Structure 1
Amino acid sequence: MDAMFLGETGSWGIWVFQDVLLYFPEQPSSSRLYVPMPTGIPHESIFIRTKDGVLLNLILLRFTGDNSTFSPTVIYFHGNAGNIGHRLPNALLMLVNLKINLLLVDYRGYGKSEGDANEEGIYLDSEAVLDYIMTRSDLDKTKIFLFGRSLGGAVAIHLASQNPHRISAIMVENTFLSIPHMASTLFSFFPMRYLPLWCYKNKFLSYRKISQCRMPSLFISGLSDQLIPPVMMKQLYELSPARTKRLAIFPDGTHNDTWQCQGYFTALEQFIKEVMKSHSPEEMAKMPSNVTII
C-alpha cells in the first residue's frame, strides 16, 4: 500500500508542495471515504485527540485465546498510502500467529482521522496513541511493542527514541535511513546529493534516532524491495545500539508483501517470545546480539 517517495528540489514552491509528494492518503481513491473493518473478531473503532486537538481513528484488535491477559500490545504504524483497513489481512494474521493485541493507527489526514499529514503532526499522533494505551486498564502497560513498515518504521523509531522506558521492543520493516537519503537514492543527479538538510520539510531522521533505541529491536528486510534499498535496513541494524537485536532477511520479500514470505511470522513470534521470556531489565541486559537470516 505504500506509494513512491519523491524527492525535493529546495525551491520554495517544492517546499510548500513536499507533503503532497510524500503522503498519499487518497491512494486508492476511496481511502478517505471508506475504511474496511474486521468481521467476526473482537475489535473496537476508537477516536482519540492529540495534544494539538486533531481527532485520530484507531482500530484495536483483541486476542482472546488462552492467557490473553498476558498478551503484549503492538502499535501498528503503516506506510504512506491507504488506511488502516487496508492492513487488516496482514493484521489479522499477526493477531492469530503472534497472540497479541494489535492497535492500528491512521495518521492525521488518513482514513477517518482529521487534519493533514506532516512530520511533526505524525509524531504527535504517535505520542497520543501511546498515551491512550496508558489509560486502558485492560492492556498490559509493561508489554508495549511498536511495529512500523516503510514510513511507519520511521514513526516507530521516533516514538521509541522519545519513550525508551515505556516501549518493550520495536519491530521495523522495509524502512529507510531518512527522507534525504531516499531523495538522493531516487534522484541521483548531482544537486540532490548535496542539498542541505534544511531544504527538506520532512526529514524522518531514523539513522540518528535509532541511536537512542536500546530496547530489543527486530529489523525485517525484504531483499526484493524495489522502493527502499534493502541496504538501508542493514545499516539501521548496524547503527542500533540494542544489546538484543535481530535482522530477519527474506530474499523474495517485496516492499509491501514481505509479510507473505514463508517464515515471516515465525521470525516475529520468536522475537516476541524471546523478549517476553527475558522481560526484566536484568535479564535483557544478558542477552547477546546476533543476526537471524530467514
Structure 2
Amino acid sequence: MPIKIPDALPARHVLENENVFVIGETRALHQDIRPLRILILNLMPLKIATETHLLRALSNSPLQVEVDFLMTSSHVSKNTPREHLFAFYKVFDEVRSNKYDGMIITGAPVELLDFEEVNYWPELTEIMDWSKTNATSTFHICWGAQAGLFHHFGIKKYPLEKKMFGIFKHTVEQPEEPLMRGFNDLYHAPHSRYTEVKENDILEHPDLVLLSKSKKAGVYMVMSKDRRQVFVTGHSEYDASTLKEEYDRDLAKGLDIAIPDNYFPDDNPENEPLVLWRSHASLLYSNWLNYYVYQATPFQLEQIQ
C-alpha cells in the first residue's frame, strides 16, 4: 500500500525512482479507504532531506499514510527555501484543532543548549502537551526524544566527552514488546549526537520501559508504559550518505570530528559507506504504524483523547 504525499513534494520523485510506492493527492481522492493521518514536526535544518528520510521509512507498510508537515512559528529555518515551507508546511495554529493517528517529532541541532535556552522551547512544549490528547502515538527522534523524555518525564540529558557518531550495535531488552517484533537479537543503528540520557534514569522511572540499548551508544529505544510515547535516541531513518554528509560538513567547518564508527569500510572515507541498518529501520517504522497507531487509533479521529 502507498504513502500519500502532495503531488509536487520533491521527495516524491526521489522515492518513485527508488520504486517506493507513493501515491499523489489526486489519485488518493478516488480511493474509499481512510488513510492514517501522521503529523511530522520537522525541526531539522535540512528539511527536504529529512522529509525524504521519513517518508521512505513510513512507506514500507500495507497501510495508506497521509502526512502533514509542521514547522515552528517561533523559529525561522535558514536552510530550507521559504517557497518550500509556504507550499508544504503548516504552523501549530493551523493544526491545533486537528486529530492525528500518529505524530513524529524529529531531532534538532541544539543539543548543547539547555532545553529552556532553545528559542522555540515554549512552543515545542505546548505542541508536546497537545500531542498527548490529539495523537494516538508520538514517535520522538534523537534530540526530539531527549526533549520529550525531559518534558514528559523529567529525564535529564548529559553532555558526552565527544560526539556519538557512527553505526553501533544494539540489543533488544524487551523482545515481547510489539515494537521489537522481528528484530534480531543484535542489530545496527546510526547515532549522531553530543548528549545522552542515562540508563539508570530510565530504569528507575515507573512510567518508562527500556526497549533497546547499546554497549557503546547507550540508551536507544524507550517507551511510555501506556505505549503512546516512543523515544528513539538515534537516527534509524538516515539514508546511506547522511553520516558522510555530516562528516564532510564538519570537516569543512574545521571541527575536530572523528571518522564515523563502523561506517566506512576500513575506516577510509574514500570508500562507499556500508548500510547496516536499513532492514531494522523499515521494521521499526512498520511496527510503530501497525501496533501503536493503526491497531490503537479509533476509526473516527475525533474520538482520540
Tell me the TM-score normalized by structure 1: 0.43
Q: Where is the strand percentage greater, Structure 1 or Structure 2? A: 2
